[in-house]
Homo-oligomer: A and B are copies of this chain.
Amino acid sequence: MRITIDHSAKTPVYLQIKQAILAAIRDGKLVPGARLLATRELAQQLGVNRSTVAMAYDELLADGVVESFVGRGTFVARQTLAEVTALEGRASRQPPNRKMVWEGVFSERAQSPVVESLLDLYQVSTLRDVISFSGSFPDAGSFPTRDFRNSLHFAERTLGDEVYRYGPVAGYERLREYLAQRMREGGSDVTAENIIVTSGSQQALDLIARALISPGDTVAIENPTYPGAMTAFALAGARLLPIPVDEDGLCVEVLENVLRVQRPKLVYVVPSFQNPTGACLSWERRRRLLALAREHNLPIVEDDYGSHLRFDGDALPHLKALDDTEHVIYVSNFSKSLLPGLRIGWCAAARPVITRLMAFKQNSDITTSPLLQSALWDFCRRKRYDAHLQKIRPIYHARRDVMLKRLEADFPSGTVWTRPAGGLFLWVTLPTALDATELLYQVRQQGVVFSRGRLFYSDNPKRNTLRLSYGHVTLEQIERGMRVIGTTAKAMLGRGASRAAERFHTQTVPLV
């Protein structure tokens, strides 16, 4: 028998030896009862450690392929060829007994309904053959891939191995400075020291939740709101305190009443093009919200995923720009306005907050890719980000307009919808007889999907609501898809819609 060892192979040497012996038995070169070389001899012959050969023999022994007798040696056992063949290529010799029982092993938080909903929803689908109004994805056709490639090359060439090392926990210094300067231009009083770069704004929300929420704390949130914020706070142990949303955003006067009797740990708010309604928090409410924060020493988490996506009317100031008392923790990203796949967002807040977030960031993933951060910085300083915003705003504007036109033309009377001045989606409330889940089931069969409104509620979901994203659909797809939804809704109303409303409640749709 000849065994050839390949030390550069990925298969461990002991396993190569085991496999060679199995092959020799299969090929009849080693017959039952034949004596194997002593470990020392074979080790010498192969130029490997004796313990390596011993490992191979141990495995064969445990598999029952060989037998060992003290003082006599190791011999090929008397078994059938089929048994050897079955063993070949298997690394381990334990019979598949005592399988790990995972039930009951997971943490309490892993068994929460939040995780169940995430398990249901995790398939952030890149649906190809359907017209999708679900997800809040930006227009992939407008991605500035070529410009960004230039910035990638620039970063690599000028920064060299730096971009492949571990970077600073708080982020690439020049990107932090750029972000701070940009925020100062918008009226916020921040420097690079107030900024931490994160892996998207989802990570910022998760870090904030872990740094601020103790189990049992209450978080005031809009109802409906962004599901990723609900999961971040809930998984940190928060109870969610839903505050209604109207056409002027969070109902601050309701929050004010709530604050008379409850003491939430923080309030989470999406002031611009609220997710999912598209509403903008009014000027008066912004000021009132800040006054409440000051009165109650209440941190505000401002999720600004999209104020830079305004295509209609004038900008309102960020809450952070109105905040000279350090109550606002500002969160934003480049996922909706530029490239989701960069996974780059940031958080701007008072220094005591930032230092805590840095600790949790280091624990979460140490640092965000310096290559992508430095390329993004280069892209921004060359004004390519501003140019991109100029380019995409009219695109989304036109898409929203067609959405509105089709809502007017194709949807059942009694349907109500929002008219967002920016962002990527609008919010539709159907006549109460209609159930969005049943509607989704019907239109899916015609190649159209959307996000059911119920996914966005922490309390008292309105089953006749839907979020329609226009970010990643063409004008033509909007015309066709909206007509499908509208005419299907009308038909359902016509034949008594509530009939089948209960039967479809586990559809998997994307969550972002």
For the complex formed by this chain, how many copies does it contain in all?
2
B365-A283 in contact (CB<8A)? no
Q: Which residues of B contact A148 (CB under 8 A)?
A: 164
Q: Which residues of B contact A167 (CB under 8 A)?
A: 124, 341
Q: A92, A163, A323 — which one has the most chain B CB atoms within 10 A of its CB? A: A92
Binary CB contact string for chain A from 7 to 40 against chain B (1 if under 8 A, 0 otherwise): 1111111110000000000000000000000000
A359-B119 in contact (CB<8A)? yes
**CA–CA, A293 to B118, complex, Å?**
30
Q: Which residues of B contact A235 (CB under 8 A)?
A: 210, 360, 363
Say if the beta carbon of A236 comes within 8 Å of chain B: yes
Identity of the chain B residue whose Cβ is nearest the Cβ of A43 in the assembled complex: B314
Report A123-168 residues with CB < 8 Å from chain B CB.
123-124, 126, 135, 137, 140-141, 143, 145, 148-149, 152-153, 156, 160-168
Q: Which residues of B contact A84 (CB under 8 A)?
A: none
Say if the beta carbon of A69 comes within 8 Å of chain B: no
Q: Which residues of B contact A85 (CB under 8 A)?
A: none
Identity of the chain B residue whose Cβ is nearest the Cβ of A372 in the assembled complex: B369
A213-B107 in contact (CB<8A)? yes
Q: Which residues of B contact A160 (CB under 8 A)?
A: 145
Say if the beta carbon of A410 comes within 8 Å of chain B: no
A100-B299 in contact (CB<8A)? yes
Q: Which residues of B contact A394 (CB under 8 A)?
A: none
- Place the interface of chain A in its size category: 35 or more
Binary CB contact string for chain A from 305 to 334 against chain B (1 if under 8 A, 0 otherwise): 000000001111100011111110000000
Q: Which residues of B contact A95 (CB under 8 A)?
A: 324
Say if the beta carbon of A486 comes within 8 Å of chain B: no
Among A49-57, A70-78, A442-450, the stretch in contact with B = A49-57
Identity of the chain B residue whose Cβ is nearest the Cβ of A370 in the assembled complex: B341
**CA–CA, A81 to B202, complex, Å?**
46
B165-A212 in contact (CB<8A)? no
**CA–CA, A137 to B366, complex, Å?**
13
Among A184-192, A426-434, A476-484, A498-506, the stretch in contact with B = A184-192
A124-B367 in contact (CB<8A)? yes
A96-B324 in contact (CB<8A)? yes
Identity of the chain B residue whose Cβ is nearest the Cβ of A317 in the assembled complex: B12
Say if the beta carbon of A414 comes within 8 Å of chain B: no
- Shortest Cβ gap from A396 to chain B (Å): 16
Say if the beta carbon of A358 comes within 8 Å of chain B: yes
The verdict on A324 contacting B92 (CB below 8 Å), with A107-B214, A369-B342 known, is: yes
Say if the beta carbon of A275 comes within 8 Å of chain B: no
Say if the beta carbon of A58 comes within 8 Å of chain B: yes
B212-A106 in contact (CB<8A)? yes
Binary CB contact string for chain A from 81 to 120 against chain B (1 if under 8 A, 0 otherwise): 0000000001110111111111001111110000100110
A143-B115 in contact (CB<8A)? no
B97-A325 in contact (CB<8A)? yes
A164-B140 in contact (CB<8A)? yes
B211-A124 in contact (CB<8A)? no
Q: Which residues of B contact A295 (CB under 8 A)?
A: 98
A371-B107 in contact (CB<8A)? no
Q: A90, A102, A163, A359 — which one has the most chain B CB atoms within 10 A of its CB? A: A359
Q: A118, A153, A341 — which one has the most chain B CB atoms within 10 A of its CB? A: A341
Report A364-390 residues with CB < 8 Å from chain B CB.
364-372, 386, 390
Identity of the chain B residue whose Cβ is nearest the Cβ of A170 in the assembled complex: B122
**CA–CA, A324 to B135, complex, Å?**
39
Say if the beta carbon of A231 comes within 8 Å of chain B: yes
Report A203-237 residues with CB < 8 Å from chain B CB.
203, 206, 210-215, 217, 228, 231-232, 235-236
Q: A11, A121, A386 — which one has the most chain B CB atoms within 10 A of its CB? A: A11
The verdict on A511 contacting B362 (CB below 8 Å), with A10-B185, A91-B322, A342-B369 known, is: yes
Q: Which residues of B contact A404 (CB under 8 A)?
A: none
**CA–CA, A161 to B140, complex, Å?**
6
| Among candidates B164, B199, B363, residue contacting A342 with C-beta atoms closer than 8 Å | B164
Given contacts A105-B265, A110-B212, A118-B362, 13 further A-B contacts (CB under 8 A): A10-B386, A12-B314, A13-B314, A94-B324, A102-B350, A105-B212, A106-B356, A115-B359, A122-B362, A145-B160, A206-B365, A341-B369, A371-B372
Closest 8 CB pairs of A and B: A91-B187, A118-B359, A164-B341, A199-B365, A98-B294, A12-B315, A13-B314, A164-B339
